[in-house]
Structure 1
Amino acid sequence: MDDISYFKKAEAESLKNLVDIAISKKLEEVNTMEESLITKLKLQETTYEEYIDYLENLDTEFHSFLSLSNIKDLVSEDFENFEIKHIPETTKPVLPKFTFGQFCEDDISKLLGNISVPYIEPAMRKIKPMENTSSELKPTGKERKKEGEKPSRKQTLSLSSSVTKVWEYKVTWVDDVYHISIDKSGRRQLWISDIHANLVKTKQALKKNQLQKIQTSGGTEGYHTVTNDGDLIFADRENNVISRLSPGNTCMIRGFIKTGDWGPLSTHSSHINRDLLVGMINEIGQSKVTRYNKTGTEIQNMQRDNKGQQLYKYSHYITENINGNICVSDYMICAVVVIDKSGQYRFSYTGQGSELDPYGICTDVLGHIIICDAQSDTVHLLDQDGQFLSLLLTSQQGVWGPRSVCVDDKNNLLVGQRFTNTVRVYKYLHG
């Protein structure tokens, strides 16, 4: 039922956007009509002004005849044939009329889809007696491995009492590591970008790990992400488009999504429903988050809170938590802003003591929110409700200028930094 409520809200938001677009076009038509009428009226005004000037000149000329020296001109043959010009004719403007649209609540309801319970005869639940199941034991870890079943990790994992560096490795073709996107489709590959818009695909933890390089228009934002299928999605802010690259570079779709007047900054592919979340900014300094479905259709915009206030100023990193919350790192307001999946504001995190300068952000299987703080050269750990838990990494663990974080499929934390192309890998969960 939660999914139905979510999709209904998303559908309503999409309909609202369409209404806004239609109204905008109608207002443009009204403005065009108004400008056309004003132009015609000004031309008529010019005509009447010219005729008034003509009459004033004629009046001046007639007054000159009042003197005795010019009286003979009044009886001349030329004066007898003189005619005053007629008042120029102009057309009366035809004003447009507004016809009210014919719609009702039922019409809107039809546009928002229908919810119904399918007419299917309920199937009877089959419940085995206890005596028949008492001997059926859950498969062991070895049996799970043999059968290809992945054991549940969430229930057994917890925070470690200390953080341990597992390994580190350098990534050539980049000068630093401003964002990391991990491919969780089983290929153990990463996409890493630096401040100079170099985007590189690497094989995790191998010395000769560089597989591919793309020159982009990105920089110090989390502008790329990897889908569940292993597709790379990256934003092109210069051309206001989002592109898609399939594994093996078999199909590059440039302009997979066109963002219009909004420049895409950050992207995140949802592992919950395969939606694409995009942080954007426009030319007048407004910022928002837009949700697209997996085919690239816009379904939701999130820009303001319930009081009409702007949620963001520069949504340059974005991620999604296990509960569907959307977490946005915004260094221009010195905060991480969290909203729920329907776009309702939940909370903001502004740091501990000193002002927060948030960059890279990610979440883990326990719902923790992990944030890079460029101000204090630390990595912050929060619970999913925004409560501060600890400074997960500091200079004591060898971290300087953290800019990017992500968690791999083994629940290791990968950290990228400014001024170095080294990726450091830490173990912070146990179980």
Structure 2
Amino acid sequence: MLNCALYPKNIPYIMFEPSDEQAAMQHFLVCGTEDCQKNGQFYCNACHRPLSEQCRDEHLKSPKTKTHEIVLYRHRKPQLPVEKCELHPTRTVDIFCRECQISLCSKCSTMKEHHTHTFDDLEDIYAEKYAAWQGKFSEIQKYFLPTSLGLKTNIQEDVTQIQKIMKRIRTSMKAEAESLKNLVDEVTSENIDHSHTMEKSLLKMLKSQETTYDDYIAYLWKMSEEFQEYLSITNRKLLFSKTLNIQPIPETTKPVQPVFTAGQFNKHDVAKLLGRVNVPNTNPENRKIQPMEVEATHKKSTEKQLEQSKEKSDMKQTLSLSSSVTKVREYSVPGVNSAWHVSVDKSGRLWVSDYRGNLVQTDLQGNLLQKIQTSGWQEGYHTATQDGDLIYTDKDKKVIYKTTLDKKIIEFIKTGDWKPLSVHSSCINGDLLVGMVKDKEAKVTGYSKTGKEIQSIQRDNQGQELYSEPHYITENINGDICTSDNNKRAVVVVNKSGQHRFSYTGQKSMFCPFGICTDVLGHILVCDYFSNTVHLLDQDGGFLSFILSPQQGIKRPRSVCVKNEKYLYVGQHTTNTVTVYKHLQ
């Protein structure tokens, strides 16, 4: 028995559905009617069991069950967990008392303390709480996790940016120091040269003085010899006739000794010369967190977009699967010999590519408007945006191009070492999803509308590679990223945060998936080249039906695309004809 004390107001604890891993083990839902093994795509909210289409019709015809509410399985009401009443153990708790705000059994409701009280069906309360909790879970998956991951990515980008800036600053510091060193060497060299010149001048002056005294000494020696002659006996008479006159000693000056005056500087002076790195004294800017309403839709809140969103929501409420698929029209596309991938722009014009890299655009009458030669082959390598532009990949040049309405082709994104294979422009927010490969690795990368990388998905929670060659890619209404990987023979689905939800591997031993798309009800449609069919899956990977098969003239389907909510465009390997079907009503 559930512990009601753990849940506010004594309402039973909500038990959620099986995990994605458990759901992935089951490819289709089996009807709950005994001896019926058909696909249970419907659900009886009264009996709480899945029903096939045949059993649904019988259910509604039976007098006992004709009033039961039957809905599509994905719209089912969750079943109330069984809880025995503590006061009446043979009874099941299934009533909610508004006044007392507690859950009761039917016998409790007849007790005098609940006399005149108002009661609600506990299953309805449970369904409301279940939906509320599922809504919170959806908010975590669609808003809180992606937003937090985006902020973390911004931080990582800031780390890279700071590292680049600091590296540039250190380089500038070294260059400035080297420049100062060169100036110091230059000034020192000039000072040394000046000292040599000064020394040479002083030595020259002293040499001149030395010569002066050499000459004077020679003069004295000569005078001394003359006086000796005068003093001899024979020449004594000369003493009376000659006048003794000696020249004075020449005067010279002592040189003024050079003095070195040391420069007046310290570490602080040098630091001022060289500069210093610092953080400006400004308040840091808060990281921008988009409000949940904006982040959840990634749309600008203009009246036009809100109106479009409401129209789609209203249409979703009224649409359902048709009992049979109806062919609406066919396009014979000039300029290609097959239709390996189809994109439809907002005006209904087609972009079609073949295995030779021809990419052409036609109008609603099938007339050729534009032709581009690409390196594409068996990939979904082009997509039409909400603005009417075309985005396509060039795996050889590792570039994603954008073709504008005026037919200009511009280089939009460079993917580095990775070869971009498939691309999809989100109908939710206009962001891009790109499947790419490098050597033996593969991943899905998300880009914003402006071309900024915002997400990279490569491995699951166990570190296993999710993809081998993501040839085709699309997005579901709940933000799931659905990839058709022919090498893995699987449709690989992750949620918006990149967490693996399930992998669909077909209904037979051989499954060869190519083109993939989703519709407004969240169905996943994928081409199976091997069985000449188009599989219809529910949002959780449950197989619903072969929506197209050879009985409808399908042969080697390669591409699928949904336009205007209920029209399915199908391209085939063997012909350049694109066929349009109506699969929702």
Matched, 1:113 2:287: yes
Which residue of structure 1 lines up, in the alignment, with residue 38 of structure 2? none
Aligned partner of residue 316 in structure 1, secondary structure: strand
1:160 maps to which of 296, 311, 322: 322
Instruction: Give the Cα separation in 1 of the matches to 2:547 and 2:158.
Output: 44
Which residue of structure 1 lines up, in the alignment, with residue 410 of structure 2? 253
Deviation of residue 428 (structure 1)? 1.3
Instruction: Give the Cα separation in 1 of the matches to 2:476 and 2:565.
Output: 17
Question: Does the CA-based 8 Å contact 1:13-1:301 persist in structure 2?
Answer: no
User: Where do 1:235-246 residues align within 5 Å?
Assistant: 235-246=393-404
Which residue of structure 2 lines up, in the alignment, with residue 130 of structure 1? none
Instruction: Give the Cα separation in 2 of the matches to 1:248 and 1:372.
Output: 33
1:190 maps to which of 350, 354, 366: 350
Structure with the higher helix share, 1 or 2: 2
Question: Does the CA-based 8 Å contact 1:14-1:300 persist in structure 2?
Answer: no
Aligned partner of residue 314 in structure 2, secondary structure: coil
Instruction: Give the Cα separation in 2 of the matches to 1:331 and 1:416.
Output: 17
Instruction: Give the Cα separation in 1 of the matches to 2:415 and 2:290.
Output: 35
Deviation of residue 335 (structure 1)? 0.1
Instruction: Give the Cα separation in 2 of the matches to 1:419 and 1:343.
Output: 35
Instruction: Provide structure 2 residue ranges, at least 5 long, that are not aligned to the other structure.
Output: 1-138, 164-283, 292-306
Deviation of residue 354 (structure 1)? 2.6
Matched, 1:11 2:151: yes
User: Where do 1:202-351 residues align within 5 Å?
Assistant: 202-204=362-364, 206=365, 208-249=366-407, 251-254=408-411, 256-282=412-438, 284-351=439-506
- The one-character-per-residue Cα deviations of 1:75-108 (angstroms, maximum 9, x if unpaired) are xxxxxxxxxxxxxxxxxxxxxxxxxxxxxxxxxx
1:177 maps to which of 339, 350, 368: 339
Deviation of residue 150 (structure 1)? 7.4
Question: Does the CA-based 8 Å contact 1:372-1:403 persist in structure 2?
Answer: yes
Deviation of residue 248 (structure 1)? 2.7
Deviation of residue 200 (structure 1)? 0.5
Instruction: Provide structure 1 residue ranges, at least 5 long, that are not aligned to the other structure.
Output: 24-109, 118-143
Question: Does the CA-based 8 Å contact 1:157-1:429 persist in structure 2?
Answer: yes
- The one-character-per-residue Cα deviations of 1:48-68 (angstroms, maximum 9, x if unpaired) are xxxxxxxxxxxxxxxxxxxxx
Question: Does the CA-based 8 Å contact 1:338-1:347 persist in structure 2?
Answer: yes
Task: Choose 352-361 or 325-334, whichever is displaced more.
Answer: 352-361
Aligned partner of residue 456 in structure 2, secondary structure: strand
Instruction: Give the Cα separation in 2 of the matches to 1:235 and 1:165.
Output: 31
Question: Does the CA-based 8 Å contact 1:178-1:195 persist in structure 2?
Answer: yes
Instruction: Provide closer, same or farther for how the CA distance between residues 112 and 416 of structure 1 changes in structure 2, counting only shifts above 3 A.
Output: farther
Instruction: Provide closer, same or farther for how the CA distance between residues 384 and 22 of structure 1 changes in structure 2, counting only shifts above 3 A.
Output: farther
Instruction: Give the Cα separation in 2 of the matches to 1:350 and 1:414.
Output: 23
Deviation of residue 394 (structure 1)? 0.6
Instruction: Give the Cα separation in 1 of the matches to 2:285 and 2:145.
Output: 16
Instruction: Provide closer, same or farther for how the CA distance between residues 111 and 370 of structure 1 changes in structure 2, counting only shifts above 3 A.
Output: farther
Instruction: Provide closer, same or farther for how the CA distance between residues 192 and 329 of structure 1 changes in structure 2, counting only shifts above 3 A.
Output: same
Question: Does the CA-based 8 Å contact 1:330-1:358 persist in structure 2?
Answer: yes
Question: Does the CA-based 8 Å contact 1:222-1:265 persist in structure 2?
Answer: yes
Matched, 1:396 2:396: no
Letter in 2 for 1:226: A
- The one-character-per-residue Cα deviations of 1:293-329 (angstroms, maximum 9, x if unpaired) are 0110111100000000000000010000000000000
Instruction: Give the Cα separation in 2 of the matches to 1:20 and 1:313.
Output: 29
Per the normalisation by structure 2, the TM-score is 0.50
Per the normalisation by structure 1, the TM-score is 0.68
Instruction: Give the Cα separation in 2 of the matches to 1:238 and 1:116.
Output: 37
Structure with the higher strand share, 1 or 2: 1
Question: Does the CA-based 8 Å contact 1:164-1:427 persist in structure 2?
Answer: yes
- The one-character-per-residue Cα deviations of 1:374-411 (angstroms, maximum 9, x if unpaired) are 11111000011100000011100000000000011151
Instruction: Give the Cα separation in 2 of the matches to 1:420 and 1:116.
Output: 47
RMSD of the TM alignment (CA)? 2.6
Instruction: Provide closer, same or farther for how the CA distance between residues 111 and 353 of structure 1 changes in structure 2, counting only shifts above 3 A.
Output: farther
Which residue of structure 1 lines up, in the alignment, with residue 58 of structure 2? none
Aligned partner of residue 155 in structure 1, secondary structure: helix
- The one-character-per-residue Cα deviations of 1:170-190 (angstroms, maximum 9, x if unpaired) are 101000000011112xx2111
- The one-character-per-residue Cα deviations of 1:323-342 (angstroms, maximum 9, x if unpaired) are 00000000001000000011
Aligned partner of residue 220 in structure 1, secondary structure: coil
- The one-character-per-residue Cα deviations of 1:178-236 (angstroms, maximum 9, x if unpaired) are 0011112xx211111000000001113x1x52111000111110000111000100000
Question: Does the CA-based 8 Å contact 1:182-1:188 persist in structure 2?
Answer: yes
Deviation of residue 11 (structure 1)? 3.3
Q: Which runs of 4+ in 1 moved over 4 A?
A: 13-23, 114-117, 148-151
Instruction: Give the Cα separation in 2 of the matches to 1:160 and 1:259.
Output: 42
Aligned partner of residue 280 in structure 1, secondary structure: strand
Question: Does the CA-based 8 Å contact 1:181-1:224 persist in structure 2?
Answer: yes
Task: Choose 316-325 or 14-23, whichever is displaced more.
Answer: 14-23
Instruction: Provide closer, same or farther for how the CA distance between residues 177 and 354 of structure 1 changes in structure 2, counting only shifts above 3 A.
Output: same
Instruction: Provide closer, same or farther for how the CA distance between residues 201 and 308 of structure 1 changes in structure 2, counting only shifts above 3 A.
Output: same
Instruction: Give the Cα separation in 2 of the matches to 1:114 and 1:180.
Output: 38
Instruction: Give the Cα separation in 2 of the matches to 1:396 and 1:390.
Output: 14
Say how many residue pairs are matched. Answer: 310
Instruction: Give the Cα separation in 2 of the matches to 1:321 and 1:371.
Output: 13
Question: Does the CA-based 8 Å contact 1:12-1:112 persist in structure 2?
Answer: no
Which residue of structure 1 lines up, in the alignment, with residue 523 of structure 2? 368
Question: Does the CA-based 8 Å contact 1:371-1:379 persist in structure 2?
Answer: yes
Aligned partner of residue 520 in structure 2, secondary structure: coil
Letter in 1 for 2:401: S
Which residue of structure 2 lines up, in the alignment, with residue 29 of structure 1? none
